[in-house]
Chains A and B, each alone.
Chain A
């Protein structure tokens, strides 16, 4: 998880995870990082820097919006919200992920090829 290659490889997936997180409610970057960490049981080891890069890129692509607001503890924080385009993007991405997972699973679980 430290090389650039690996990061790039993970990028699409990370985008999906971030967007998914934002479907429930707007959140700031820290909350998103914690949520992904907690729901994945800490199995993904994602660098927070990469997470922020993903967030800002998503904003550039128009999939999320940002706005400054106050956190639970009354501190100024940047909140992200998923846009309509973001939701659409998430739908296609998760469908593609499902197909990917299903295909990988089918190959992995197949019996020995007939001789």
Chain B
């Protein structure tokens, strides 16, 4: 037996052939001797009849070796194919568990890979298409702290700064400048605002980027004064507006209304050293092109006015520290030269060269989105671990349910090897299916996260799934596969198959302490995340209910853009007035007004004097008085309430002898009495303007934490030569439709208008809302994932116990327990675990939510409603997860249950 076994695995073909031939010859000799021949004669005859024995032996062995090789390959494939068919049939037979396992794996891997992909993009990956990105640096200038002023870091340097670097920096092989900005491009009628970058000399050389079509700028073409009208298209812009036609080179694209010649197309996904999608690359001279006032920023006299980012390429062999030291030396020399003789104090500065990899803000610190994403990778890793634990639980459950089948198959003589092989095949099938589903989660989750964290960035899928992210995906897959394959084996000890075959309570299939602990832990995790989600959602709610003194979601702001037409503000003012008349008559418009300043987008300070108030008390808010010039209807349009008096009348617009003040002003100047009819002067002894109305305090700068400032509204003289904006009040639900209506009306009114910027007032506030939106979205998403996982984990555990206690349940039912009693018993089993998790989760949330305190708005981190709702929701999920196995338990047939063991 042993020898045959050995022969089977390490076969000796020659032995087999020898045995066969020996048997033949012996049999023949025996027969011939039986017929009367002498043994020697018989042997000679047998050999004679056979032919050349040695040659035959070799021939047969050769044939047999070929047979064996062929069979080895065939039998492996056949066995695997059989296993696969068998496994697929088995998985189809229990679709609930199969789908649950696949979903669990998909969630676990998908969330880790999505989060890692985003973190990789934000923190670890260099900007695409930059050659040897480790050599490319960005310069930051630190103004050292002086008494009364803290240290300040910025990457906004000046053109003269750049010229010092370009002339003297020995550590750099090449240096350039870049500034991103928004510009209007396209022909009249189809013009739109695009995100562009103005670049200095040697830009392409410094970054090492090559265009896909045409060329980048020559150095002379980018000079801020003598630069030429040439443009390099961003890849997406090119695809979108030119269908990726290589024939665009030499065509003209109007930028700021001036003809720019297209000379090249940047590679796909190239975004310089920042994160936003750049649609057009332009020479620095674009900033002055078409501007009516003379330029200033590139003159030596304005060397302190930094608007440019300096980017350099390190020479081979120089380090970041050397570049920083040299930069500091150069900058100090430059400052000494600029300010040294003036008698002014020369600011102490230092230069730091930093790599371009990683999302840094203008002050050189990692942006919060990047920090959050790194933190979320950790959360996602925990989610993956929980997923793996749940998958293990589900597999053990599946194995339990199959134990009778295993016993039957073993009785029918199937080998343990085959049974174990099938477990392995099953694990691999499940892991692969889960991995495939995870890619779907990744595609959706990655896009969602990207949209959430980096709304302005060009999203090129190719730049998100990169090699390291793929490695993480593969590592996660491998880990899941190992767990999925080993879980059923490990759980039942060294000899899985016999344990499965015995399969009764004695073989140790009790819910282990580890398992219970895991369930409690994941329920608790779910509670913590639910509480976080609840707190952020409540914060958002509170923000939505905030009384701002105006209603930004009702207001569209229209700014006419005449860039490139050569028209000055004086010509444009009447257009605003005509537009105001036209827009007021449009159906759906609930109010319209023009004003010099737009809330949240700027404010003007003004002199102010209240006769009778000899010494001005300290002013609240900004500490200085503010003014806005508005047309009648402004308050109705913004939704600011009039507390006393009246709005301006049309005929008062040109007179200027009336004002409306806000509540803060009225309180300060005329405490305890009516402000109506009082006098406000611009300076002591100036002409009086009569207060005709008092309006509520409206926010001017930010969403939260703004103390009202003293603010005076004066009527906007239609002839006032000052830039302005048109504000239009529309129903919030029709805002997109009204935006188009407005644009059509403006086009009809003013056919030569190149472009009008029509945005909601709310959009100005959106960046301020982002931290809360981000927190709410991310917490809600992870809380949902945690809920689903907790439900799956509980389901697997409860179903496991039900399967295990089938006999006991059968006995209970046989002695008269009703189905509802059995169901309740099972649900209570789930609830016991769930309650433990909820209790611990609430404690953890209670303790940890104070870390969220600073991030929340107008909601206590220990908000009772949120804590309660999270607990109730989790318990409902627990009950829900237990109901399925509970139903299964009531279907137990006592007779079968009792016979089965």
Residues of chain A at the chain B interface (Cβ within 8 Å)? 28-30, 33-34, 47-50, 52-53, 56-57, 59-60, 71, 75-78
> Given the interface contacts A29-B20, A75-B23, does A57 sit within 8 Å of B63 by beta carbon?
yes
The residue on A at minimum CB distance from B55 is A49
Tell me the complex Cα distance, A106–B50, Å: 36
18 further interface pairs, Cβ-Cβ under 8 Å (given A47-B51, A53-B63, A76-B23): A28-B23, A30-B24, A47-B49, A47-B50, A48-B49, A49-B50, A49-B55, A49-B56, A53-B56, A53-B59, A59-B67, A60-B67, A60-B70, A71-B23, A75-B27, A77-B23, A78-B16, A78-B19
- Is B56 a contact partner of A52 (Cβ separation < 8 A)? yes
- Cβ of B49: which chain A residues have Cβ within 8 Å of it? 47-48
Q: How far is the CB of A102 from chain B (nearest CB, A)?
A: 33
Contacts between chains A and B (CB distance < 8 A), count:
60
- Is B51 a contact partner of A78 (Cβ separation < 8 A)? no
- Is B64 a contact partner of A49 (Cβ separation < 8 A)? no
- Judged by a CB distance under 8 angstroms, whether B733 is at the interface is no
Tell me the complex Cα distance, A3–B52, Å: 12
- Cβ of A56: which chain B residues have Cβ within 8 Å of it? 59-60, 63-64, 67
- Judged by a CB distance under 8 angstroms, whether B348 is at the interface is no
Q: Which single member of B26, B53, B63, B67 contacts A49 (CB below 8 Å)?
A: B53
- Is A48 a contact partner of B59 (Cβ separation < 8 A)? no
- Is A78 a contact partner of B20 (Cβ separation < 8 A)? yes
- Cβ of A49: which chain B residues have Cβ within 8 Å of it? 50-53, 55-56, 59
The residue on B at minimum CB distance from A48 is B50
The residue on B at minimum CB distance from A34 is B31
- Cβ of B51: which chain A residues have Cβ within 8 Å of it? 47-50
- Cβ of B64: which chain A residues have Cβ within 8 Å of it? 56
Tell me the complex Cα distance, A30–B49, Å: 12
Question: What would be 26 A-B contacts, judged by CB atoms less than 8 Å apart?
Answer: A29-B20, A29-B24, A30-B23, A33-B24, A34-B31, A47-B50, A47-B51, A48-B28, A48-B50, A49-B51, A49-B55, A49-B56, A50-B51, A52-B21, A53-B56, A53-B59, A53-B60, A56-B60, A56-B63, A57-B63, A60-B66, A60-B67, A60-B70, A75-B23, A76-B19, A78-B20
Q: How far is the CB of A41 from chain B (nearest CB, A)?
A: 16
The residue on B at minimum CB distance from A31 is B27
- Cβ of A52: which chain B residues have Cβ within 8 Å of it? 20-21, 24, 56, 60
- Cβ of A75: which chain B residues have Cβ within 8 Å of it? 23, 26-27
Tell me the complex Cα distance, A59–B21, Å: 16
Q: Interface size on B (CB < 8 Å)?
A: 24
Tell me the complex Cα distance, A75–B70, Å: 29
Q: Which single member of B16, B24, B26, B67 contacts A48 (CB below 8 Å)?
A: B24
Tell me the complex Cα distance, A31–B55, Å: 22
Q: How far is the CB of A67 from chain B (nearest CB, A)?
A: 12
Chain B 819-856: CB-based contact to A (< 8 A → 1; otherwise 0): 00000000000000000000000000000000000000
Tell me the complex Cα distance, A28–B28, Å: 13
The secondary-structure label for the interface of chain B is helix
Tell me the complex Cα distance, A48–B27, Å: 13
- Cβ of B53: which chain A residues have Cβ within 8 Å of it? 49
The residue on B at minimum CB distance from A77 is B23
- Cβ of A29: which chain B residues have Cβ within 8 Å of it? 20, 23-24
Residues of chain B at the chain A interface (Cβ within 8 Å)? 16, 19-21, 23-24, 26-28, 31, 49-53, 55-56, 59-60, 63-64, 66-67, 70
> Given the interface contacts A47-B49, A53-B59, does A30 sit within 8 Å of B28 by beta carbon?
yes
- Cβ of A57: which chain B residues have Cβ within 8 Å of it? 63
Q: How far is the CB of A81 from chain B (nearest CB, A)?
A: 15
Q: How far is the CB of B78 from chain A (nearest CB, A)?
A: 13
- Is A60 a contact partner of B63 (Cβ separation < 8 A)? yes
- Is A30 a contact partner of B63 (Cβ separation < 8 A)? no
Q: How far is the CB of B4 from chain A (nearest CB, A)?
A: 8
Tell me the complex Cα distance, A53–B64, Å: 10
Tell me the complex Cα distance, A102–B53, Å: 37
Q: How far is the CB of A5 from chain B (nearest CB, A)?
A: 15
Q: How far is the CB of A32 from chain B (nearest CB, A)?
A: 10
Tell me the complex Cα distance, A53–B17, Å: 11
Tell me the complex Cα distance, A11–B414, Å: 41
The residue on B at minimum CB distance from A2 is B51
Q: How far is the CB of A50 from chain B (nearest CB, A)?
A: 7
- Is A30 a contact partner of B27 (Cβ separation < 8 A)? yes
Tell me the complex Cα distance, A39–B50, Å: 19
Tell me the complex Cα distance, A34–B31, Å: 11
The residue on A at minimum CB distance from B61 is A56
- Cβ of B56: which chain A residues have Cβ within 8 Å of it? 49, 52-53
- Cβ of B26: which chain A residues have Cβ within 8 Å of it? 75
- Cβ of B60: which chain A residues have Cβ within 8 Å of it? 52-53, 56
Tell me the complex Cα distance, A56–B20, Å: 11
- Cβ of A60: which chain B residues have Cβ within 8 Å of it? 63, 66-67, 70
The residue on B at minimum CB distance from A76 is B19
Tell me the complex Cα distance, A77–B49, Å: 19
Q: How far is the CB of A79 from chain B (nearest CB, A)?
A: 10
Tell me the complex Cα distance, A60–B68, Å: 9
- Cβ of B19: which chain A residues have Cβ within 8 Å of it? 76, 78
> Given the interface contacts A48-B49, A49-B50, A49-B51, does A78 sit within 8 Å of B23 by beta carbon?
yes
- Cβ of A50: which chain B residues have Cβ within 8 Å of it? 51
- Cβ of A47: which chain B residues have Cβ within 8 Å of it? 49-51
Tell me the complex Cα distance, A76–B27, Å: 11
- Cβ of B27: which chain A residues have Cβ within 8 Å of it? 30, 71, 75
- Cβ of A48: which chain B residues have Cβ within 8 Å of it? 24, 28, 49-51
Q: How far is the CB of A27 from chain B (nearest CB, A)?
A: 12
The residue on A at minimum CB distance from B31 is A34
Tell me the complex Cα distance, A34–B50, Å: 12
The residue on A at minimum CB distance from B56 is A49
- Cβ of A77: which chain B residues have Cβ within 8 Å of it? 20, 23
The residue on B at minimum CB distance from A28 is B23
Q: How far is the CB of B524 from chain A (nearest CB, A)?
A: 62
* CB-based closest 10 A-B pairs: A49-B51, A49-B56, A47-B51, A56-B63, A48-B50, A30-B27, A78-B20, A30-B24, A77-B23, A60-B67
Give the interface centre of B27, B28, B55, B67 by most chain A CB atoms within 10 Å.
Answer: B27
The residue on A at minimum CB distance from B50 is A48
Q: How far is the CB of B896 from chain A (nearest CB, A)?
A: 41
Tell me the complex Cα distance, A70–B276, Å: 82
Tell me the complex Cα distance, A78–B155, Å: 87
Q: How far is the CB of A30 from chain B (nearest CB, A)?
A: 5
Q: How far is the CB of B55 from chain A (nearest CB, A)?
A: 7
Tell me the complex Cα distance, A53–B21, Å: 11
Tell me the complex Cα distance, A30–B50, Å: 11
Tell me the complex Cα distance, A33–B57, Å: 17
Tell me the complex Cα distance, A49–B53, Å: 7
- Cβ of A34: which chain B residues have Cβ within 8 Å of it? 31
- Cβ of B31: which chain A residues have Cβ within 8 Å of it? 34
- Cβ of B55: which chain A residues have Cβ within 8 Å of it? 49
Q: How far is the CB of B67 from chain A (nearest CB, A)?
A: 5
Tell me the complex Cα distance, A32–B846, Å: 88
The residue on A at minimum CB distance from B47 is A48
Q: How far is the CB of B71 from chain A (nearest CB, A)?
A: 10
Tell me the complex Cα distance, A68–B51, Å: 24
The residue on A at minimum CB distance from B54 is A49
Q: How far is the CB of A19 from chain B (nearest CB, A)?
A: 17
Tell me the complex Cα distance, A24–B629, Å: 113
Q: How far is the CB of B28 from chain A (nearest CB, A)?
A: 7
The residue on A at minimum CB distance from B4 is A68
Q: How far is the CB of A77 from chain B (nearest CB, A)?
A: 5
The residue on B at minimum CB distance from A57 is B63
- Cβ of A33: which chain B residues have Cβ within 8 Å of it? 24
- Cβ of A59: which chain B residues have Cβ within 8 Å of it? 63, 67
Tell me the complex Cα distance, A76–B26, Å: 12
Q: How far is the CB of A73 from chain B (nearest CB, A)?
A: 8
- Cβ of A71: which chain B residues have Cβ within 8 Å of it? 23, 27
Tell me the complex Cα distance, A57–B63, Å: 7
Tell me the complex Cα distance, A59–B53, Å: 20
Give the interface centre of A29, A30, A59, A60 by most chain B CB atoms within 10 Å.
Answer: A30
Tell me the complex Cα distance, A34–B30, Å: 13
- Cβ of B50: which chain A residues have Cβ within 8 Å of it? 47-49
